[in-house]
A and B are shown apart, each in its own frame.
Chain A
Amino acid sequence: MTKKITIFTTNTCAYCGMVKKFLDAKGHVYEVVNLDENPERQAEALEVSGALTVPVTVVTKQDDSQEVIVGFNLARLAPALA
């Protein structure tokens, strides 16, 4: 079970849209951090993912452990949400 899902996105990122569509289809609630609108949070995205790219999806589990998925990577995203 997940406690919280956060997605780092930008306005023009197609892969971010795919992550959101996937989460919507599975009925998940998530927080969106738009880095175009909140550039001050870019360092946070880099720190959690180690990458200068979006989407970055942070799945926080009930035990507060986190799984970070970079890009639209269903092979990692789907199990992380299970």
Chain B
Amino acid sequence: MSETETNNSKIWDVITIGSGPAALSAAIYTTREDLSTLLLDKGPVGGLAAVTDWVDNYPGFPDGIAGLELADKLQKQAERFGAIFEFGEVKQIVDEGKFKVLKTDVGDFKAKSVLIATGSDYKKVGVPGEAEYYARGVHYCATCDGAFYRDKKLVVVGGGNSAVQESLFLTRYASHIDLLVRSKISCSDVLQKELAKNAKITVHLGVKTDEIVGDKPMGEGGKVIKVIGTDVDGKKIEFPTDGVFVFVGLSPNTTFLKGIVDLDEIGFIKTNVHLETNIAGVFAAGDVRSGATMQIASASGEGATAALMIRQYLEGHAMDHEPLMATVTN
């Protein structure tokens, strides 16, 4: 980069929107191919993987690895080959043909190709009290907020890998956890075995979460005191608690893409077999892609594949920096 060139003025070969495992893996590949690569993200490098307590199924780590540490290693590997990271929230993608302009809260960025790897975020359970007591008893990040529940009682809502993994993490702090599972446990066998061994967690199958209740309204300093649920027989059950952690699935981070990139009925990005979206030169990989398996290892694989497809795309296009703009003549 020349002395006067900035991340905003430079025309990048590749910009990734997001910096989770898919984007980081792609960046390792593209930078090794000498393609200038910028990773733009409004959240933590590593995405949801970075806020996951422990990752046991990522190849190459026989004893498992903390999500934060894995994210840090992936970032260092990408930086070793020249990847640049920038904080910023992408608001819009403007397709100018050969170039794509990303409009963000920290200015515009221009690239010849774009990889959307914005991942997904935890869904809300959608019950009364959930929004009201957010961050005052209702949480979505165990590694961030678990420490506030030392020797307290907790409820965790959900029955998948995240719910069980994060419940196990929360037992570091909590005295007891009621795990409310709407139907049945759907996590891996390994986690199920760990769950069965953990005396601090009581699993309640077939319990639908109906309401999160506080002792008084939030504005009056209220705090969560119980969760009300319904069992399979329609009977109401109350679970006294000091806090609630919700892990009931994932929803894609694609709100800013509506009307720009083709999405499926749930909101995940549609791609072809080359991981390319309906816009030429705009690719998608990882949890945000329709059909993704929501695994860190598969996101990394998709990132690598996308990088190779991007290289192929760039090779098929002129590498000069003349934008495809209409020529105005007098």
Contacts and interface: CB of A to CB of B under 8 A. Distances in A.
Centre residue among A13, A16, A52, A74 by max chain B CB count within 10 A: A52
Given A12-B68, A14-B71, A74-B87, A54 B42 contact: no
Interface string B178-200: 00000000000000000000000
A16 B45 CA distance: 12
A51 B325 CA distance: 50
A17 B71 CA distance: 11
B15 to A, nearest CB: 18
A53 to B, nearest CB: 5
Contacts, number: 74
Interface in B38-70: 42-46, 50-51, 53, 66-68
Interface magnitude class on chain A: 20 to 34
B143 interface: yes
Nearest to B221: A50
B71 A36 contact: no
Contact of B144 (A15, A22, A42, A75): A15
A17 B139 contact: no
Interface in A40-55: 42, 46, 50-55
A48 to B, nearest CB: 13
Contacts of B136: 50-52
Centre residue among A18, A22, A35 by max chain B CB count within 10 A: A18
A-B CB proximity, top 9 nearest = A14-B50, A12-B143, A51-B135, A52-B148, A14-B44, A10-B147, A14-B51, A18-B44, A13-B144
B105 interface: yes
B68 A17 contact: yes
A46 B145 CA distance: 12
A52 B243 contact: yes
Interface in B78-105: 87, 89, 105
Interface of B: 42-46, 50-51, 53, 66-68, 71, 87, 89, 105, 135-137, 139, 141, 143-148, 150, 169, 243
B139 A13 contact: no
Contacts of A13: 51, 141, 143-144
Interface in A13-40: 13-18, 22, 35-36, 39
Contacts of B243: 52
B68 A53 contact: no
A53 B67 CA distance: 19
B87 A10 contact: no
B87 A14 contact: no
A26 B326 CA distance: 40
Contacts of A53: 135, 139, 141, 144-145, 148
A50 B146 CA distance: 16
A22 B143 contact: no
B68 to A, nearest CB: 5
